[in-house]
C-alpha cells in the first residue's frame, strides 16, 4: 500500500505532509502570470525607447541618451523577469508521515538538517514491531535506517539522532508495522 496524495485518505492513514516547496510544481497560472510579466517588461522597454526618441526630436537631450536609456530598461526588465521565474524554491518545513502496515510513503522533497522523532500506538495489541527507513525516491537507495523497535505501552515515542546535510532530493519512507505509527522531520 502506498500513500498517494496529500490530505486525508479513506483508510484513515496519516499521509506525508509538508510545507517544503513553494511552489514545488508551478501550475499554468504561474506561467501565465510570468508571461504577463515578460510582456510588461517589453512594454516598459518600448515606452522608454519611444520617450527617449521623442526627447531627442524635441532637442532637449542628446541622441546618445537613446541607447543608454534603452539598455538600462532592458537590464532592469531582465532582472525583474529572471528574479520572478516560477521555479522549485525550497523552504524548509516540518514533514510528517505515518499509517499502519504501510509499504512506503509518497515522495517528498527534503534538504538540509532535520530533527527526527517517532511515535507508535500499539493499543489493543500490547506491543508491535516498527521498522522505518529513509530512501531516495529516484533510485530507491536506502539512505538511513530510522526506527527498529518493538513499540509497547511503555515504549511509544522517542527522538532520534539528527540527520545532517541531507542532499536536496525527493525521499520516501518504507515501513513495516502492525500498529499506527508516525515519523516527524523538523528542520534542525
Q: Which of 27-31, 55-59, 121-125 has the lowest mean pLDDT?
A: 27-31
In the structure, what pLDDT confidence band is assigned to residue 4 with cuts at 50, 70 and 90?
very low
Exposure string (b/e) for 97-121, b if CB count within 10 Å is 16 or more?
bbbbebebbbbbbbeeebebebebb
Is this prediction's pTM over 0.85? no
Average pLDDT over residues 32-37: 75
At residue 139, the pLDDT reads 92
**Grid cell of 116 as nine digits:** 527526527
User: Whose grid coordinates read 499502519?
Assistant: 100
The better pLDDT of the pair 89, 117 is held by 117
Average pLDDT over residues 99-116: 81
User: Whose grid coordinates read 522517542?
Assistant: 158
In the structure, what pLDDT confidence band is assigned to residue 2 with cuts at 50, 70 and 90?
very low
Amino acid at each position: 500500500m502506498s500513500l498517494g496524495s496529500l490530505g486525508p485518505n479513506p483508510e484513515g492513514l496519516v499521509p506525508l505532509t509538508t510545507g517544503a516547496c513553494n511552489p514545488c510544481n508551478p501550475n499554468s497560472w504561474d506561467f501565465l502570470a510570468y508571461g504577463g510579466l515578460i510582456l510588461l517588461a517589453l512594454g516598459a522597454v518600448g515606452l522608454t525607447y519611444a520617450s527617449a526618441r521623442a526627447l531627442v526630436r524635441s532637442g532637449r537631450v542628446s541622441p546618445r541618451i537613446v541607447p543608454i536609456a534603452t539598455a538600462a530598461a532592458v537590464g532592469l526588465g531582465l532582472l525583474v523577469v529572471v528574479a520572478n521565474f516560477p521555479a522549485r524554491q525550497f523552504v524548509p518545513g516540518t514533514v510528517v508521515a505515518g499509517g499502519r502496515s504501510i509499504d512506503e510513503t509518497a515522495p517528498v522533497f527534503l534538504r538540509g538538517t532535520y530533527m527526527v522523532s517517532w511515535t507508535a500506538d500499539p493499543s489493543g495489541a500490547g506491543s508491535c514491531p516498527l521498522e522505518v527507513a529513509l530512501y531516495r525516491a529516484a533510485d530507491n537507495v536506502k539512505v538511513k535506517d530510522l526506527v527498529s523497535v518493538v513499540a509497547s505501552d511503555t515504549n511509544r515515542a522517542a527522538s532520534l539522532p539528527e540527520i545532517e546535510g541531507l542532499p536536496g532530493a525527493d525521499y520516501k519512507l518504507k515501513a513495516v508495522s502492525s500498529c499506527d505509527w508516525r515519523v516527524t522531520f523538523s528542520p534542525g
